[in-house]
Amino acid sequence: MYRYLIIESKHDINQDLQVILSMFSDFIHIESYSSDQHALCIYYNHDTDIPFKDIMLNMMSDILSDLRIYVSYRFDQKDALESHQKSIKTLLKDIPFTKYIYLDDKVLLLALGTTHQSILKPLILRKYKSDQMMIDTIKTYLETDQNMSSASKILYVHRNTLIQRIDKFQQVTGFDVKVFIDAYLIYHLIR
């Protein structure tokens, strides 16, 4: 399972590169990293519940620099991660730097809304981007006010089958459509 962080700075990030790497190496095992003038990408391969936003706030006060971080969801294949990362770097350019310190897929959907839907849809839905059965399942579940019984009747599936589909969707995308904000974001993405 692969994950990555993109840490951006308004200034030359290479000046603070060692401080940033040492700070993050205390919390995650860094597999590798790459950097350019204003961004650092850190690659790691485990799930973590680390509050990256708090780390960034502490780091910004330590090095007296404006930073922001994008935290990716997990990937099964490294080539999928690289493709995703390239698209995310493009999208981050359209989000004002000072508006968010912490970004993930949910914040991207909130910040960009429908302006980049053609780019966001495959990034967020991943393997379900062309799976009409899953899209219809999620859409029906949300349109029935997240009522499992009503949605399963409309879809002609057992209630447990519907629960399993929703759980699989969450595992792949990181969006739990049983939670209001995730449901809202996904519904506007797939409608």
177 shares its domain with 140 = yes
Same domain, 76 and 23: yes
84/34 same-domain check: yes
Residue ranges for the chain with pLDDT beneath 70: none
Q: Are residues 160 and 84 in the same domain?
A: no
Is residue 38 one of the residues assigned to a domain? yes
60, 98 contact by CB (below 8 A) = no
Find the CATH number of the domain harbouring 135: 1.10.10.2840
At position 143, the amino acid (one-letter code) is E
How many structural domains are present in the chain? 2
Q: Which domain holds residue 29?
A: 3-103
In a domain, residue 109? The reply is: no
Residues 131 and 93 in one domain: no
- Specify whether 131 is located in the same domain as 94: no
Residue type, 49: D
Identify whether residues 96 and 15 lie together within a single domain. Answer: yes
pLDDT of residue 118: 84
Is 140 found in the same domain as 89?
no
| Claim to verify: residue 7 and residue 98 sit in the same structural domain | yes
- The CATH number given to whatever domain includes residue 24 is 3.30.70
CA distance 127 to 177: 17
Maximal C-alpha separation, the chain: 59
Instruction: Let me know whether 99 and 36 are in one domain.
Output: yes
Residue 121 lies in a domain: no
First to last CA, the chain: 30
| The pLDDT value given to residue 114 | 74
Q: Do 96 and 139 fall within a single domain?
A: no
Confidence (pLDDT) at 81: 87
Residue 64 located in a structural domain: yes
Helix (H, G, I), strand (E, B) or coil at 164: helix
Of 69, 103, 137, which residue is a domain's last?
Answer: 103
